[in-house]
Structure 1
Amino acid sequence: MSATESSPALRRPKLADLVTGTLRRRIAAGEYDASGKLPTEGQMTTIFGVSRTVVREAIAALAADGLVQSRQGAGVFVVPSPASPFNALGAESANKISVAINVLEVRMGIEIEAAGLAAVRRSASQEAAIHEAWNEFGRLLKLGIPTGKTDFAFHRAIAAATNNPFYTEVLEALGSRTIPCDVASPWSTETVLSREYQAGLQREHRDIMEAISAQDAAAAREAMRQHLSRSQERYRARLRTV
């Protein structure tokens, strides 16, 4: 373990940072409408079980990032986000396998290191979130329900466990392109991805999860590298048959 991966990153995040991160994720996920109003300060103290001071600090951080805006006497509102450069990445070609391959290349540059950092930085609750996403993938697989959203949740939980918000922000910016084979894609899990295929993904996810649980950064990076490399090869194989 390097000095970069050790003690400073293991400090417990502040309550305000946790609230900020949760609100940031909910805004990115569209749980609060663009230009919509956030819960009141009093409501948020109940929702998060924190003081008004913590809520104010979290709102101030979001406002500094340009995500929300306070209006005197009216409340705090979500600021509509400008078009993301990720969203502009050939929206008309987002259903091409070549786009999925390009996205996987970007993810390899981000998620391999994220897995290693998660192994040494993750808290008990963050480890539990990774396990929960993995279990949910298996549950949906048994029911024959598309697993794309849970697949994304697994990778996002790993990014969150780095305790570096930029890892989760990049995945959220990529959005549906992160896991292209979902119901929104022509290569939908409902019609193309077999149960065997998805069970293979689940086994690869397990290897990543177990390395993170064991706090083995090198093994976590290698497991993530293997997973994303195999995913790239699967898309390339599909491209050759189209």
Structure 2
Amino acid sequence: MATDTAVDFRVERKPKLSEGVVSAIRAQVVSGVYAPGQKLPTETRMGELFGVSRTVVREAIATLAADGLVEARQGAGVFVKNHPTIAFGSISADVGNKVSHALNIIEVRMGLEIESAGLAALRRNAAQEAQIQEAFFEFDRLLERGEATGKSDFAFHREIAAATNNSYYVEVLDALGMRAIPCDVASPWGTDSTLSRDYQEGLQREHLAILKAISAGDPEAARAAMRAHLAASQERYRSLLSGQQAKWLSSILKRKT
């Protein structure tokens, strides 16, 4: 007789303290509690408000700055950026750490970035092409040094969006921020497999195909290369889900033996 209850295959991690601070401040910015250009409370005051240390506050501010919502001005404090991405802030407000969220983000990126790659191939100027290449080689430099490549990965995709010469592509990608890049050590979806050198070298081969198509001015090849890159990312995360299921099954079998 089958008596097993419903199985949840998710492998949860305990949220970091800074993530709660990020979510709270982001919600306040998006809702208008803190307006563009307004200064946030001091680190000490935010620590008191959220019941966390200044180190946790700094980590949260760094995340918000990477997502384009705030900027730190030396000697002056932290200010809400006067930037259109604030209007899209809710897109990344509650991304969480589930693999399903990573898959959802990649799906959104496919709708955005396949066309941006094609437009970049048609519209990029020499300076924009150079910036895409610089981001590509920065990824390679960081990989060789064993450092986190997430920011350079995001920069590569962002420079392609900028090369469309349509600012809305950049704004929506900025709204997703670093959550769009799953291979960085700071990502909630980072795992040993996604951070391996082989994995990241594979990303670079996919990036190279996109770069070559854009440099050649071939919009269809650029779209195809971006589609292949993001589809491969989808498959990698589906494999991660399968791995979670296998891990659960293995643990059940061990308990029964």
Q: Would you call these one fold, judging by a TM-score over 0.5?
A: yes
The equivalent position to 1:170 in structure 2, one of 161, 169, 172, is: 172
Question: Normalising by the residue count of structure 2, what TM-score does the alignment of the two structures yield?
Answer: 0.62
Q: CA offsets per residue over residues 27-82 of structure 1, 9 Å max, x none?
A: 9364453258xxxxxxxxxxxxxxxxxxxxxxxxxxxxxx38xxxxxxxxxx9957
Secondary structure in structure 1 of the residue aligned to 2:100: helix
TM-score (norm 1): 0.66
Cα displacement (A) at 1:110: 0.5
- Counterpart CA distance in 2 for 1:82 and 1:105 is 21
Residue equivalent to 1:28 = 68
Classify the secondary structure of the residue corresponding to 2:92.
coil
State the one-letter code of the partner of 1:28: G
Gaps of 5+ in 1: 1-24, 37-66, 69-78
What amino acid sits opposite 1:109 in the alignment?
G
Measured against aligned partners, the alpha-carbon deviations of 1:92-136 in whole angstroms (never above 9, x if no partner) come to x52111101000000000000000000010010000000000000
2:85 & 2:100 partners in 1: Cα distance? 30
Among residues 91, 94, 103, which one is paired with 1:86 in the alignment?
91
Contact 1:146 1:190 in 2 (8 A): no
Change in Cα spacing, 1:195 to 1:163, as seen in structure 2 (3 Å) is same
Instruction: Give matches, 1:2-41, under 5 Å.
Output: 28=68, 30-32=70-72, 33-35=78-80
Does 2:119 match 1:117? yes
The size of the alignment, in residue pairs, is 175
| Among 206, 209, 213, the residue aligned to 1:207 | 209
Q: In the alignment, residue 148 of structure 2 is paired with which amino acid? A: P
Change in 2 beyond 3 A, CA 1:159/1:81: closer
Residue type of the partner of 1:148? G
* Matched ranges for 1:69-108 at <5 A: 81=86, 84-88=89-93, 91=94, 94-108=96-110
Give per-residue Cα distances to partners, 1:128-160, cap 9 Å, x unaligned. Answer: 000000000011111111111110000000000
Percentage identity across paired residues of the two chains: 58
Letter in 2 for 1:156: R
Runs of 4+ in 1 over 4 A off after TM superposition: 79-83, 189-192
Whether the aligned pair in 2 keeps the contact of 1:97 and 1:235 (CA below 8 Å) is: yes
Alpha-carbon deviation of 1:189?
6.5
Aligned to 2:60: none
**Bigger radius of gyration, 1 or 2?**
2
| Counterpart AA for 2:187 | S
Partner of 2:243: 241
